[in-house]
């Protein structure tokens, strides 16, 4: 109540100033008159009385001022005056204002953009009700991130636990072909149980979501119904309401659409909508086991993701403890009946992983990009610091040219706090304006980077949630204020240090002192910061270069990777060996094709296939080796050379004895003294892959991760393992550009009637994709490094130019006394070199300390790589000299006559 | 200078003004004179502190003001106690009495 009244009264004095002031005038006049009349009654003359009253009670104007400044509104008014004054000043120097705002916009914008990405990727909660209650759980082998459960495991855990109010399970996305109204499209397909939508608080946009009838775990066949995501509905059905009841064919199997989820629902993923969701058991329709009950009751097959919602008051720790205590018994129950020694061993290691599900799943993206983004955020933070130092210097120069004004203000009685406030108002104003401009830049940049990264990785639409939330708003506004205060503080501090007497009397008549001490220190700091930054980005760029030049042991040019997918029912009743033999023959006839063969994996793919291999008959631990299945033609096409023995032939089919080809380093590891050819191998985790005869030794290669040193590798012929033949990657060696040959390849595949071309990429593209995080890091840090260098150059230039202006008179005298031009040049450049040199001296140890922290992100370069170091120091010196040379040249041209007449 | 308001214990000026107004509404000068009379000339207030106090009390809703004609048919702003101001005066008077008694006891004890 009284606060309101206070506000109202204050506002009245602000906005009805005239009236309030008149009232006060009248009241005070009355007061003083009455007091004077009293005195006159005692016999004083009017003049005398008035004088006495003034002495006793204070004079009119003074009192008015005291009364007026007692309320809060006078403070507000002073701030408002500061604002207007600041605005006027900034308008008067548009160039300075523009440079300052632009610098801040770039700096703050870049930081906000990176922070938004990080926020969307790793920090922000899912947009479902009470995301903090979500807890995910699954069984995993320690050291392996993949955690999942079989349906019996999930059911058993759900039944026994007391920590969750509800649990739900789903199987993660598989990209299938969907036939929508007769045309084929790519669909991201998920399966969920009937608790899934309810527990996540999802409501349908139209239609309905799954209920227990749709799920029906005890039936003999899955109910064929589907729920679409909002995005899928919009892009494939144009958002038409009559989609309900329509049929959608997924991998040839029809599903009836029953509903659409609301916009923005991304399930438990942080960045991907669940395009099409099916009832949990529908997974069985897509292959393997024909009996659905058998499929669902598999006790050891971990194919489900699971999560629960914590009961009120239960913590994650409690949930972890309870589930953990239930687990050993459940694990024991789940041991498959037809157990092998290896299976048992693996089972014993299964542990329950229980973790918060609040921020959703982004495991792949999060794992690859969180750390690079934190590093880039640190880098952009450094750039912002450099920008801040720059602005501080600019402000300092401005403050110097305003020292006269400040001196007058101080002489007229403005307090130190008042002057500091005035300066800070200006700088905060600038930084707020910069932040607003930066906000636009951040919005654009974060979307561009996110689209770039996700577009490279995913074939289905994906988007990080980059919408501003309290974290981003807090981050940006915090930065705006911090920057404003930081770069406003230096000049403000300086302004209060000056003795008004000195400033007023001497003005600019003294001999110049060269660059100001504070300004010089700021430049040194800037050079040091830039050095750290440039060192970092230099190392990232060199890492990328090394990765690009790395020899993975297979052909990286003139090689296409053609992903083949079956048409609906394409593999039904098909002799895959014969089919692929024909297909490869046909492909070889396409003009421009030099050779072709097939493999299962994609070169450089993060999902690697490794197996433990040992010599048949030995009971050794075995050797962990990269593993791959390939057809005849693969080695020639991939450019992996045969060193000994023979390659796979089409005759190596399932009637022939099992064979294998190993890499040279594998042969050396397992058979250091013997010839590997003819030796026998077992794949330990597969029951039937035994007693494989080595028929060839090939050159080393790192198929899956080009960052790794070439690892021992074992190849099996896919012709002997028909289950692994479908969905192949067809490698085509050709010197034609992909666009020139793509159509012919597509036609050839289509003409067989079984498969179609899912995508055509060059192997180079796939490898580039596999080093995406290095590319993004190098790209962003180069941008920031260049920005820092530019800022440092501008800062140095500004400082030297200012110093030269200040010393025009001194230089004039020197020249009049006989100094020659090169002497003047020397004076100026010496100062530049001292500044840059000091900066380098300070920055160097800092850089070496900091780069050690990013050592694990580097490839092929050491954190104190002398080449990078030399480049960075050279670049800084060159830029410094250039920035210093321009003002120095001006100094050389000073005409002593003009300079001395100047004042 | 006749300003002796500085001798006032911090915060007591408000209480004294409220006390003065408890009898009848008064204008600024009247309040000043009354305070001087009642204190037998111990408190002599300058216009600044007095009017700042008026503004403060008014904003706190303890007094209200009104332009009226004085006995000498001059226009002046009259201040009057509000209900809230009366309550505040009572509570402050009580509190003051308690404190004075306590201080007196301490001083006598030594």
Q: Is A63's CB within 8 Å of B48's CB? A: yes
Calpha distance A104→A462 (Å, rounded): 31
Flag whether residue A26 sits within 8 Å of chain B, measured between CB atoms.
yes
CA distance B107 to chain A (A): 34
Query: Which residues on chain B are in Cβ contact (under 8 Å) with A32?
Result: 47
Q: Which of A5, A10, A57 sits opposite B47 (nearest CB)?
A: A57
Q: How far is A523 from chain B (nearest CA, A)?
A: 50
Q: How many CB atoms lie within 10 A of CB A527?
A: 28
Closest CA in chain B for residue A9: B59
CA nearest neighbour of A712 among A692, A691, A733, A697: A697
Q: Which residues of A touch B59 (CB under 8 A)?
A: 2, 5-6, 9-10, 71
For residue A785, what are the contacts with CB-CB under 8 A and spacing of at least 6?
A379, A533, A534, A536, A537, A538
For chain A, 903 residues long, the average pLDDT of each consecutive 10-residue run is 71 76 83 83 84 80 77 78 84 82 87 89 81 89 80 91 92 82 82 90 89 81 90 88 90 90 81 86 79 84 90 91 89 72 67 84 75 88 86 78 74 74 83 88 89 79 79 86 81 69 56 61 88 92 91 91 84 89 93 93 78 85 89 94 94 91 94 91 84 94 86 93 87 91 92 88 89 89 88 82 77 81 82 89 91 88 91 90 84 75 58
How high is the pLDDT of residue A502?
A: 64
CA distance A188 to A186: 7
Tell me which architecture the domain covering B5-109 has in CATH: Orthogonal Bundle (1.10)
How far is Cα A833 from Cα A844, in angstroms, rounded to an integer?
Answer: 16
Supply angle C-alpha A184, A188, A189, rounded to 5: 100
Any idea which residue has 């705006």 for tokens? A480
Our CA-based measurement puts residue A415 at a distance from the nearest CA of chain B, in whole angstroms, of: 22
Q: What are phi and psi of A316, to 5 degrees?
A: -60, -40
Under an 8 A CB cutoff, do A26 and B75 touch?
yes
Q: Out of A23, A27, A67, whose CB is closest to B48?
A: A67
The answer to whether the Cβ–Cβ distance between A58 and B48 falls below 8 Å is yes
Closest alpha carbon within chain B to A3: B60
Which among A55, A57, A67 has CB closest to B52? A67
Closest by CA to A583, choosing from A592, A596, A573, is A596
Residue A511 has a CB neighbour count (10 Å cut-off) of 10
If one compares B16 and B71, the residue with the highest pLDDT of the two is: B16
Q: Do B47 and A63 touch (CB under 8 A)?
A: yes
Which DSSP string corresponds to A551-593?
--SS--SSEEEEEEEEPTTTTTT--HHHHHHHHHHHHHHSTTE
- What does residue A435 show for φ and ψ, rounded to 5 degrees? -65, -40
In degrees rounded to 5, what are phi and psi of residue A519? Answer: -60, -45
- Greatest pairwise CA separation for chain B in angstroms: 55
Tokens matching residue B31: 């309040």
To test the contact with chain A by mutation, choose from B14, B29, B47, B52 the residue with the greatest count of A C-beta atoms within 10 A, namely B47
Nearest beta carbon to residue A35 from set B29, B49, B51 = B29
Two tokens, residue A265:
């629902």
Place of tokens 């409220």: B18
Given B32, B51, B61, which is nearest A5 (Cβ)? B61
Substitution target in A31, A49, A69 with the highest count of B β-carbons within 10 Å is: A31
User: Around A163, how many Cα atoms within 13 Å sit in the side-chain half-sphere?
Assistant: 23
> Å from B110 to nearest chain A CA?
39
**Nearest chain A alpha carbon to B59:** A6
Distance from CA of A74 to the nearest CA of B (A): 13
Of residues A653, A638, A631, A651, the one with CA closest to residue A726 = A631
Q: B35, B48, B67, B70: which to substitute to probe chain A, counting the most A Cβ within 10 Å?
A: B48
Q: Is the CB of A32 inside 8 Å of chain B's CB atoms?
A: yes
CA distance A27 to A584: 105
**Cβ-contact A434, A490 below 8 angstroms:** no
Pairing mode, strands A713-717 and A623-630: parallel
Q: With contacts defined as CB-CB under 8 Å, which chain B residues touch A10?
A: 59
Cα Rg for chain B, rounded, in angstroms?
15
Residue A180 forms beta bridges with which residues? Answer: A183, A248
- Site of tokens 């202006």: A805
**Overall residue count recorded for chain A in this entry:** 903
B55/A57 CB distance under 8 A: no
Spatial separation of the C-alpha atoms in residues A353 and A157, rounded to whole Å: 13
What pTM was computed for the model?
0.72
Q: Is A25 on the interface with B (CB under 8 A)?
A: no
- A214-A215-A216 Cα angle (round to 5): 100
Q: Which of A153, A148, A121 is nearest to A136 (CA)?
A: A148
What CA–CA distances, in Å, run from A698 to A102, A215, A638?
58, 50, 12
Q: With a CB-CB cutoff of 8 Å, which residues 218-277 of chain A face chain B?
A: none
Predicted pLDDT of residue A509:
47
Residue A410, number of CB atoms within 10 A of its CB: 21
Distance between CA atoms of B31 and B47, rounded to whole angstroms? Answer: 11
Give yes or no for A6 touching B (CB within 8 A).
yes
To the nearest whole angstrom, how far is the Cα of B97 from the nearest Cα of chain A?
Answer: 26
CB contact under 8 A, B55 and A56: no
Bridge partners of A756? Answer: A565
Instruction: Determine the Cα–Cα distance for residues A594 and A735; give it in Å rounded to an integer.
Output: 8
Q: Which of A2, A38, A62 sits opposite B61 (nearest CB)?
A: A2
Is A722:A731 a contact under the CB 8 Å cutoff? no
Helix, strand or coil, per DSSP, at residue B69: strand
- Edge to edge, the sheet with strand B26-27 lists B26-27, B75-81, B63-69
Mark yes or no for CB contact B29/A24 under 8 Å. Answer: no
Cβ atoms of A425 and A434 closer than 8 Å: no
The overall longest dimension of chain A from CA atoms, in Å, is 137
Residues of B in contact with A24 (CB under 8 A): 51
Give how far B100 is from chain A: nearest CA, Å: 29
Contact yes or no for B76 and A63 at CB 8 A: no
Q: Which positions ≥6 away from A341 have C-beta within 8 Å? A: none
Distance to chain A for B32, nearest Cα, Å:
9
> How far is A54 from chain B, CA to nearest CA, in Å?
9
Quote the distance between the C-alpha of residue B20 and its chain's center. 6
A885: number of Cβ within 10 Å: 16
Distance in Å, alpha carbon of A408 to nearest chain B alpha carbon: 28
Nearest to B46 among A2, A58, A71 (CB): A58
Chain A residues with beta carbon closer than 8 angstroms to that of B45? 57
Nearest CB partner across the interface for A57, out of B46, B56, B74: B46
Which chain B residue is nearest to residue A32, measuring alpha carbons?
A: B29
d(C-alpha A795, C-alpha A523), whole Å = 7
Burial class (CB in 10 A: 0-12, 13-18, 19+), B33: middle
DSSP string, A755-814: EEEEEEEEHHHHHHHHTHHHHHHHHHHHHHHHHHHHHHHHHHHHHHHHHHHHTHHHHHHH
């Amino acid at each position: 109540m009284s606060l309101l009244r206070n506000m109202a009264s204050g506002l009245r004095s602000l906005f009805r100033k005239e009236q309030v002031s008149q009232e006060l005038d009248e009241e005070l006049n009355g007061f003083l008159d009455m007091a004077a009349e009293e005195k006159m009654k005692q016999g004083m003359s009017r003049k005398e009385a008035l004088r006495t009253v003034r002495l006793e009670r204070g004079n009119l104007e003074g009192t008015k001022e005291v009364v007026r400044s007692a309320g809060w509104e006078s403070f507000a008014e002073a701030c408002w005056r500061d604002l207007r004054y600041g605005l006027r000043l900034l308008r008067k120097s548009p160039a300075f204002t523009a440079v300052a705002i632009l610098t801040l916009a770039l700096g703050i914008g870049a930081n906000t953009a990176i922070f938004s990405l990080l926020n969307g990727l790793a920090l922000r909660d899912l947009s479902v009700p009470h995301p903090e209650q979500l807890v995910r759980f699954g069984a995993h082998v320690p050291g392996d991130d993949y955690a999942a459960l079989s349906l019996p495991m999930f059911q058993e855990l759900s039944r026994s636990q007391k920590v969750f109010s509800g649990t739900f399970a789903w199987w993660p996305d598989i990209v299938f072909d969907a036939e929508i109204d007769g045309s084929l499209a790519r669909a991201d397909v998920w399966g969920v149980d009937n608790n899934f939508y309810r527990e996540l608080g999802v409501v349908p946009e139209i239609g309905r979501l799954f209920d227990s009838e749709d799920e029906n775990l005890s039936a003999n066949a899955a109910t064929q119904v589907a729920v679409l995501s909002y995005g899928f509905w919009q892009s494939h059905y144009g958002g038409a309401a009559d989609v309900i009841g329509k049929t959608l064919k997924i991998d040839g199997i029809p599903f009836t659409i029953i509903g659409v989820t609301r916009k923005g629902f991304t399930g438990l993923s942080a960045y991907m909508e669940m395009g099409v969701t099916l009832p949990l058991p529908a997974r069985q329709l897509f292959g393997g086991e024909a009996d659905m009950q058998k499929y669902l009751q598999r006790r050891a097959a971990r194919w489900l993701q699971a999560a629960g919602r914590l009961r009120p008051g239960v913590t994650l720790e409690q949930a972890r403890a309870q589930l953990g205590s239930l687990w050993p018994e459940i694990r024991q129950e789940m041991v498959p009946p037809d157990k092998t020694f290896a299976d048992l061993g693996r089972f014993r290691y299964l542990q329950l992983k229980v973790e918060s599900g609040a921020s959703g799943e982004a495991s792949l993206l999060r794992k690859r990009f969180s750390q690079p983004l934190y590093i880039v955020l640190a880098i952009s933070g450094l750039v912002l610091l450099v920008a801040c130092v720059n602005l501080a210097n600019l402000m300092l120069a401005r403050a110097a040219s305003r020292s006269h004004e400040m001196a007058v203000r101080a002489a007229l009685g403005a307090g130190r706090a008042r002057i500091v406030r005035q300066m800070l108002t200006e700088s905060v104003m600038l930084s707020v304006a910069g932040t607003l401009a930066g906000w636009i830049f951040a919005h654009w940049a974060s979307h561009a980077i996110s689209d770039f990264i996700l577009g490279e990785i995913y074939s289905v639409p994906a988007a990080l949630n980059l919408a501003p939330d309290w974290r981003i708003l807090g981050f940006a506004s915090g930065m705006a204020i911090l920057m404003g205060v930081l770069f406003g503080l230096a000049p403000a501090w300086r302004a209060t240090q000056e003795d008004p007497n000195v400033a007023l009397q001497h003005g600019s008549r003294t001999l110049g002192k060269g660059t100001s001490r504070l300004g010089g220190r700021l430049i040194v700091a800037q050079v040091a910061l830039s050095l750290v930054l440039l060192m970092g980005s230099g190392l990232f760029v060199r890492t990328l270069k090394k990765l690009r030049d790395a020899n993975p042991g297979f052909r990286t040019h003139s090689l296409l990777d053609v992903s083949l997918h079956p048409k609906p029912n394409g593999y039904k009743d098909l002799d895959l060996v014969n089919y692929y033999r024909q297909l490869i023959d046909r492909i070889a006839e396409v003009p421009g094709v030099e050779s072709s063969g097939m493999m299962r994996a994609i070169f450089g793919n993060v999902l690697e296939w490794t197996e433990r291999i040992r010599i048949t008959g030995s009971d050794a631990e075995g050797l962990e080796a990269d593993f791959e299945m390939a057809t005849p033609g693969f080695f020639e096409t991939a450019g992996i050379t045969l060193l000994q023995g023979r390659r796979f032939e089409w005759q190596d089919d399932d009637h022939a004895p099992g064979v294998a080809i190993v890499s040279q380093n594998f042969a050396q590891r397992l058979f250091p003294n013997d010839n590997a050819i003819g030796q026998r191998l077992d794949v330990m985790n597969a029951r039937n892959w035994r007693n494989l005869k080595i028929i060839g030794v090939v050159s080393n290669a790192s198929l899956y991760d080009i960052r790794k040193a070439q690892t021992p590798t074992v190849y099996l012929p896919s012709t002997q393992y028909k289950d692994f033949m479908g969905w192949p990657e067809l490698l085509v060696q050709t010197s034609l550009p992909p666009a020139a040959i793509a159509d012919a390849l597509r036609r050839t595949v289509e003409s067989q009637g079984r498969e179609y071309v899912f995508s055509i990429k060059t192997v180079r593209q796939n490898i580039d994709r596999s080093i995406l995080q290095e590319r993004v890091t190098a790209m962003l840090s180069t941008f920031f490094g260049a920005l820092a260098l530019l800022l440092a150059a501008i800062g140095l230039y500004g400082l030297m130019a200012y110093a030269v202006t200040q010393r025009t008179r001194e230089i004039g005298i020197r020249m009049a006394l006989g100094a020659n031009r090169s002497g003047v040049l020397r004076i100026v450049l010496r100062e530049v070199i001292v500044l840059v040199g000091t900066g380098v001296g300070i920055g160097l140890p800092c850089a070496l300390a900091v780069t050690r922290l990013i050592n694990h992100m580097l490839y092929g370069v050491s954190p104190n790589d002398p080449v990078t170091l030399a480049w960075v120091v050279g670049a800084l010196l060159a830029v410094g000299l250039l920035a210093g040379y321009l003002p120095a040249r001006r100094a050389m041209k000073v005409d002593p006559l003009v300079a001395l007449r100047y004042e | 200078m006749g300003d002796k308001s500085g001798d006032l214990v911090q915060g007591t000026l408000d209480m004294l003004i409220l006390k003065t107004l408890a009898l009848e509404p008064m204008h600024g000068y009247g309040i000043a004179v009354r305070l001087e009379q009642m204190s037998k000339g111990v408190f002599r207030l300058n216009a600044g502190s007095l009017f700042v106090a008026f503004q403060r009390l008014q904003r706190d809703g303890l007094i209200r003001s009104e332009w009226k004609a004085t006995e000498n048919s001059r226009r002046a702003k009259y201040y009057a106690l509000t209900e809230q101001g009366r309550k505040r005066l009572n509570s402050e008077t009580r509190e003051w009495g308690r404190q004075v008694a306590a201080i007196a006891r301490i001083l006598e004890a030594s």
